[in-house]
Each structure stands twice: as structure tokens, then as C-alpha cells.
Structure 1
């Protein structure tokens, strides 16, 4: 150890710091009287040769701008000058475009504004023209039925066993078992056929008791034959079908039916219309308007169950040339089914258009414009499958909407099964084949699979309304 000039002794390798007024500082004590960056070049005095300040930053590790900068806490800078911005002052910036304006520059603003104004004007005109062009018809009430009772002056219960051209599996009856009023609602409910009529040889002859509403023998007589190898049976179910042919018809107008669809496999509910007279020939030459068709199967059914509503127009020169597929639209219920509650199924029909809707005229299902003859729209072949020449039954009227230019009546029914393809073969466990002579019997024998699904098999109807278009040019 060596003795310093003042005679005091310090350990070797230690340092002593002295403030400006000569007061010694303890090691590690910040010196607030000096520039923390060391700009004033004050170095601590080593107490032995080769001593260094451990707190001083080496000059090579510091940026030049830190010396004498405003962040330093020491006095006036020494050596290094303050940093000065070389930015041009505001008044010194040259703006030549202010001296002489380009005369074309104003159009950069004017042209977009003019474009916006013209666009708004055109949009406003199109909206006005669209609203102005909508035909507003006058309507006169024809029927408003809230079903306080069953009005036989309006409604007819159809009684048949022939399957209505679709190979349906129900016998429609005129009994309150299948069509009845309860709590202000109309119920059309399918039920099982009497097993005794199927298990033994029997005949249902509606001509004998005079109850048949058809003039065709096949529509009025059905039989069960239990002979070995014979699968003929009477219809395996019963149901209801009613129409307004006797009491309410319209030629152009509106129809609304507030109803809840049935729930149960292989049920086929429908709200539809047929012509009062077959003016242009047998079905489908005189037309058919299906406002609503659905299926009672649940939503997992491959073709769509009670979550799907379908609207269709049937029209064509013969059965083999029905152009229904050109005018068929389906709509799916939103997050529900049509058997979960009541919906309004509607039709608006005029000389120029026809559309169906659900709950609101804005929620259209099928829309058809009568802007060309239906014969041209159908693009039918020159002859049918057996070589018979097809003849246009409509265009001679001079009306584009023929055959939908005659009086029609309303039908409500719940069918069961069928062999016309409404329920496709091999879809979701269908227990019969359309082409099989055993179709009805196979269906009957599979009742353990489908009867438990008939949780709510009836179509419930709250209200039916029909209006005739009465502008004065309907040619009624």
C-alpha cells in the first residue's frame, strides 16, 4: 500500500471522487455537478497509476450528437456544436402552382360531383318508374272462412278410392274422422284403414251407396284379394280432401290459407287449384296451380321433408309432356319447419303474372310472367312418345297466359304415399317401389316403421280467404 499526497491511506485499486467544492464522494454516489455524458471532459483523478473511471462511457461508444446535446445536464458545450435542422423555413417554400392555376384542374372536382348527381338522378327515376309500373288491382272478397263450422255451401268433401291419378294410398271420406272442425280450426287428418277390410277379401263400392264424387268406376270401387300370389288391397289409409268448386271460384285474384302442415312419414299435404271446366282438354292441358306442397317426413329426408315448401304450375298438351319443371320452385323454412307453427300460404294471379308467397307478398316462392305464349315457352316436341302429333291447344286464344285464363277453385287435402314419384324410390327407407304391384300392401306391412312418426298427422287450417280481381276487364 502507498501513502497519497494528503497522507491518507486508501486500498490499492480504489478511487476517490471529489465534487467541485472539494467534498469527497462515496464510491457509487452520482455526481450531479457534472455532465452525465462527460462532455466537459472531467476525468476522475486516479489514486494510482493507470486508474480509470468505471462509470465513464468510452468516447468511441457514443454518438457525436450526444456531446453538448440538450439532453446533457452540464454547462455550455465544449468543442462539438449543437445539431441544427436544415429544414427550409415555411416562407421559403416555393409554390409555383399558386402563381398560375391550371384551368383544367377544377374539372377534377366538378366531373365526379356531376357523375354522382347524374347517378342519383337515374336511380331515383328507376325507383319511381318501378313503383309507378307496379299494377295495383282492385279485389272483391269471394270467401272468408274462419271455420266456426263446416260450410257445406262452400266446401265439398271428396269421396274416392282411386288414388287421384297419383296412385295415392288413401281413401278420402266424408266422415268427421278425417275432416272436422275443432276450436275454430279445420282438421284434415289421415288415419289407418280398418284392418278387416285388408286382411280378408272385401270390396269398397262407393257407387252402391251413392257417396262417390267421381263418375269413373276406378275412382269409386276398390277390392282386397287374398288369393295366394295376389297383392291387391283396398287403400291402406283414410284421409280427407275438400274443395270450393261449388261455392267459391276465381279467375284472377288472390288466395290466402293460414295453415300448419302435418308431421309424419309419407304424408303429402297440398293447397292447390284446378280449373272449373277443362276448357283446353284433360289434365294438364287446362292447367293446375299448386300453391303449396310438402312432405310430412322430417328434415333429414333426402328430398326435403316438412322444412320444404314447393310451388308449381302444371301445363302441357298431354300427361307425357307436362312442363311443370319449368315452373317449379322450392323454399326452405328458416330455422324451423312448416309443421312447427302456422304460416300464410298465398297466391296472387293476374293476366300478366302469377306468383305464390309465404307470410308476405315480398317473400315470393314461384313467380311467372306471362310475357310469351306458354306453347312457345314449353318448347314441346312435334309428337309424343307414341308418334301422335302434338297440337297447340292454347295460342289460338291470343292470350299469353292461356290456360291460366279460366275460373279455378281451391283444394285442401292430405294424401298418403303414392306411386307417381313424389316420394322417390330408395330414398330414406321408403318401404315400397312405385312400379311394384305390391306397393300398397308393402306400405301397409311396414306400418310399424311409419305409424309411430305420425306425431301430428293433421293439416290444421285457421283461415281461408279468396278475392276476385275486379278491375272490370276480367272477362268473367
Structure 2
């Protein structure tokens, strides 16, 4: 009986007695140790260990002798390497020069004219100077359908702690809930020459009411006007739903005709609603110029700019709202002349810039009423006076219908009553009594 063949466990697959040309080669185990098992006979023998493993070492370390470390930086450098430093430095220098030029160009564009003081009012006297200021008294809504009647009462315009307050207040409830008439012509207090701006009534049958709010509006027409110059009003704007504060200017004379042919300068307007209001609340201000051949073709939208407050609102603290105006340009700013809101160059006739239609909606041909002066700044080339006021509501679109819970519709004949009926909702939002507080007013004439 032949002896059994015992397969060998070591050696290559080719050494196996079972290997033949038809048997695939065995692959090495990738997870096996690089060192084979040490024979028992070599245990304890350093020579045996060294001899067994000498051919299978994969790493050998030694102490690096002094002078053996390569030092390529001591070798001769490639002359092109210097450009690795030079090119970034050139780019940095160009960037600095460009930034410097932009700053210079911005400062150069702010022309420093010579100015003569016209008004410096800090309200330290405790009362308005009636040689300068006029309290406007009207009930007609000033063409905007405003819900406030302006009064000469100290309830709405007064000075407290050296600051001017323009504060809206609720109307006397009895004047609204029963048939009544307010006739400003009778007591001679009306400051408008238009009778409809002086008389208003409550009629419980048809739903019309006397203005549901009282407020203040003052101007400098009597004693402080400028034609080209500067204006700065330091003020804190009011916070509260449907309040409409404004610092603006109107022409002393309607040289080129009725509004807006003779122009209007809005230094700042805002809304008292909070930042969630769809059109922007007291976190946004706007500046605009109004100009055009008639009310339907007012080109204000061509010269209107908004600016948001940075992480705050314009009712949280005092800001300086300014205007600089010359024959060549007009711009408004906040706190500094470099932080501009609206900038308009008078470098072409405004009639040309307006691109007005040939005729109005009635088919009447529109006439160029400004270019005949030869001045590109017309109609902003006449004396203007300053106005400060806090309006409430209105039906001219300043508060859009259907936005953020507006409680009235502009074209409704009962809009003032609808507004009054919602007073429990909006009056409670008036912070600091809904007042615009003015710290100072300054005006200069270019001279």
C-alpha cells in the first residue's frame, strides 16, 4: 500500500506536490505580517534573529549626523523666485492707490461753498419765535387726504426741555359722534386761502366726520428762506402706526405755476409703522424732488431714493437730516454729507429729463415751462422755505390699500370714519406719544 501524500504547508504554491499546470497560483495574504514566524531553534539567538529578518526589514532609522541635513535655501536661488514676492506687493500697492483715488474723488465731488447763516434754532428760548415760525391751521388734508387737522394749540406743537415737539392727539370724541361743524374762518385762525381747507363737518347720516386726529405743522416762510444753500434738522422721528413725519421745503412763490410746476423738496419722509410694514416703516427714510407740468405728470419717481437705518430705526435716536443745494446739484444726507441719500445733478433741463408726454389726459398740450430760463436747475432756482410736520393717515397712496392691516380704503367716502373706528388698534402703537422731537434747525444761504 502506497504511503499517503502529505501536502506541504510552506513554500510557494509551485512547490506543492498538488500543483500542476491547471492549478491557479495562490495569492499572497495582504493582511499577513511582513515577518515570517521565527523558528524555535533561533529563539534566544540574536544572530539568528538578525539573519532571519535582515532581508525583510522595511524601515531602518539612525541618528542624523551633523552636516548631513540638506539646506536648499543656502544654495544659489533662482532669480525668478523674487517675483513671488514682488507681484503681490505690486497688486497691494495698486489697490491702495485705487482706494485712495476713490476717496479723493468722493471728497472732491462734495463742493465746499461759502455759506452765510440764515437760521440757527436750538429752541432754548422756551417758545417758538413767531417772527420765524408759523403754525399752519387747516382741516383740508393738504391735498393728501390726511386725517389730521393742524392746530395752533400747544397741545400739538410745543417746546419741552429745550426741544420742539410736534405731537398728534386724538380728536374730541363729541365732535365726531354727533353732528358738528368746525369753522376756522369764523375765528380767523385758518391759514389757508381756500375755504374748503377751513371748514369741515360731522354728518352722522352720510358718515362724514371732522378730522379724527389733531396734529402740528410749522414753517419758516415768514422769516427764513434760502435759494441754494444748506439745511440741517436734528430730530428723532415718531414711531406708531399710520404716522407720516416729514421735513421738507416748498417755494415761497409759485413762479412757474401751481404744484408741482414750481417744485417741492422732500429732505426726509418716513412712516411710523414698524419694520414689518410692507412699504417700509420707521427703519426707512426717503428723499424726493417733485416736479412736473401737472399733478398727473409729477416726475418725483425719477428723483426718489430710500435709505434703511443700520440695525436700528430712525425713531430710536436723533439723526441729522440734511440738504445741500446749488445751481449745479442737489443732495440730501443723513448725519454726514458723505452719507448721501438722494443726489441729483442739474446737468440737463428737467423738462428734457422728465420725458413728459405731448399732452395730458384731456388732450391739452403740455408746455415746456422751465427751459426758457436757460437754467438746468429750474424750477429749483427760486426761494424755498422749510416745513416740519407729522401727518396721520391719508388717501393719496402713501399708505397702500391692503398692506399690513390698513383699516381704510383710499377711495372710500367713509375713510376717515373707518380710520377712527380702528383707533383702539393703532393709537396704542404710538410710542413717546407719537411725537417727532426736534433738537435743532439750521439753515445757510450760499453766498
TM-score band by shorter chain is 0.7 to 0.9
- Paired with 2:99 and 2:173, the residues of 1 have a C-alpha distance of 68
- For 2:87 and 2:406, the matched residues in 1 are separated by 67
Alignment of 1:71-470 (within 5 A): 71=62, 134-147=110-123, 148=125, 149-227=127-205, 230-456=206-432, 457-470=434-447
Question: Residues 389 and 325 (structure 1 numbering): CA distance in 2 closer, same or farther, change over 3 Å?
Answer: same
Q: Distance between the aligned counterparts of 2:142 and 2:62, measured in 1?
A: 100
SS at match of 2:420: helix
Alpha-carbon distance between aligned partners in 2 of 1:451 and 1:443, rounded to the nearest angstrom: 11
Query: Against the structure 1 CA distance between its residues 254 and 134, is the aligned structure 2 distance closer, same or farther, given a 3 Å change threshold?
Result: closer
Deviation at 1:153, TM superposition (A): 0.4
Q: Give the Cα–Cα distance (whole angstroms) in 2 for the partners of residues 435 and 61 of structure 1.
A: 102
**Under a length normalisation based on structure 1, what TM-score does the superposition of the two structures give?**
0.76
The aligned length equals 399
Provide the secondary structure at the position in 1 that maps to 2:418.
helix
Q: CA RMSD in A?
A: 3.4
SS in 1 for 2:189: coil
Give unmatched runs, 5+ long, in structure 2: 1-37
Partner of residue 43, structure 2 = 53
User: 1:206 deviation in Å?
Assistant: 0.8
Q: TM-score, normalised by structure 2?
A: 0.81
Q: 1:123 offset after TM fit, Å?
A: 8.1
**Distance in structure 2 (CA, Å) of the matches to 1:449 and 1:125:** 53
Q: What secondary structure does 2:428 align onto? A: helix
Alpha-carbon distance change, 430 to 468 in structure 1, aligned in 2, over 3 angstroms:
same
CA distance in 1: counterparts of 2:353 and 2:108, whole angstroms: 28
Pick closer, same or farther for the CA change 1:233–1:336 going to 2, 3 Å: same
Counterpart Cα distance in 1 of 2:225 and 2:440: 16
Q: Describe how 1:63-78 pairs up with structure 2 within 5 A.
A: 71=62
Label 1:123 to 1:434 Cα distance change in 2 as closer, same or farther (>3 A): closer
- Consecutive unaligned residues of structure 1, counting only runs of 5 or more, are 1-43, 73-84, 471-476
Moved more, 370-379 or 169-178: 370-379
Q: Structure 1's 385 and 51: CA in aligned 2 closer, same or farther, altered over 3 A?
A: same
Structure 1 segments, 4+ long, off by >2 Å, are 50-67, 69-72, 106-135
Q: Is the 8 A contact 2:333 2:339 kept in 1?
A: yes
Q: Distance in 2 between matches of 1:192 and 1:118?
A: 62
Distance in 1 between residues matched to 2:322 and 2:156, nearest whole Å: 24
> Residues 208 and 254 of structure 1: is their aligned pair in 2 closer, same or farther, counting only changes over 3 Å?
same
Residues 319 and 115 of structure 1: CA distance in aligned 2, closer, same or farther (over 3 Å): same
Which is worse superposed, 407-416 or 389-398? 389-398
